[in-house]
Amino acid sequence: MMNTRIVRVSDVMQTALHIVDGLHSVQSAIEEMKRLGVSSLIVERRSDHDEYGVVTVRDIAARVISVNKSTERTSVYEIMTKPALTLSADMDIKYAVRLLSRLGVGRALICDANGVAGLVTLRDLVLGHIEPLDEGE
């Protein structure tokens, strides 16, 4: 019998979070992404009863640049994805990969009682998924 180690979302999630206000311009979001070397930012909730959003390079490309909108006059909230998909930190990453793949989503937030605790990308999940070798191999 093979002893399979379960890799959880919490094992591969990013905890260095980069949060932006939805009222900021897309131009400032681009500058922040470039400065931080990231391809997405978490959009802050407006209240305790609101949900987090996410803005990605893909959102900016598809909803601003490719349609010739001004990055300085377009706000992040106009192009973000909200509510952002959230996952449990305890979820087995193979199920997280299935869910993100099925939905065609590249990232998800990990939230707990205190708010957003992390972010995980499909890349993080795939690279974190290590198949154990059978002892006979």
The per-residue pLDDT for range 20-65, each reduced to its tens digit, is: 999 999 999 999 999 999 999 999 999 988 999 999 999 999 999 9
Question: Distance between CA atoms of 84 and 103, rounded to whole angstroms?
Answer: 12
Output the six-digit token pair for 136.
């006979």
The domain ranges of the chain are 9-128
Contact criterion met (CB below 8 Å) for 111 and 52: yes
CB 29 within 8 A of CB 41: yes
- Supply 61's token pair: 């490309």
Predicted TM-score of the model (pTM): 0.85
End-to-end CA, the chain: 14
| Statement: residue 9 has pLDDT above 90 | yes
> Mind listing the pLDDT tens digit for each residue in 106-135?
999 999 888 899 999 999 999 988 655 444
For domain 9-128, give its CATH number from 3.40.50.11540, 3.30.1490.20, 3.10.580.10, 3.40.50.300.
3.10.580.10
Arithmetic mean of pLDDT, 8-15: 94
